[in-house]
Amino acid sequence: MGVAGSRRVAEVTMELPDRESRVEPSRLRTAALMLITVVVAFLALDDITTDNASRFGFERFALLCCGAWLFLVSARLMRGHRALGLISVGLLALAAVAQREIGPGTRPGLTFEYVVIVTSLAWFAVLSGILAVLGWRSRGRLATRTGH
């Protein structure tokens, strides 16, 4: 490989996005989806507690989907931010147990299920903010490093 060939390899290598630049949009997207998930879960729980229907199949299914997605994010989060991931998985496990006690007529109070659900929703809302800040910071570092 001559000088021209090695120069071309260097140019191609410099054009490839590094790992950090690929992670940044993912963090911002995950943060936004997590916040939307928290809102959907809140709305489903609100419907369950304030409606007079006898069955809440759709709302329970929405909670199941929200929980599954938050679990996947939490498990993935454990790779880079173990403490955040462990707290998230722990709160999800508690919320899965507590949501069974939530039903029509559940009123705000210092009961186990209410405190766990509210704490879990608040945690994931805060965590979405943390992920957004991490994504924004890595975006800033990338722009500084590449000169944009």
Q: What does the pLDDT look like over 22-50, one tens digit per residue?
A: 445 688 899 999 999 999 999 999 888 88
The token pair at 43 is 């709305």
For the CA atoms of 74, 76, 80, 83, the dihedral, rounded to the nearest 10 degrees, stands at 20
pLDDT at 14: 41
The token pair at 132 is 């957004």
Average pLDDT over residues 119-140: 86
**pLDDT: which is higher, 138 or 100:** 100
Q: Quote the pTM value.
A: 0.72
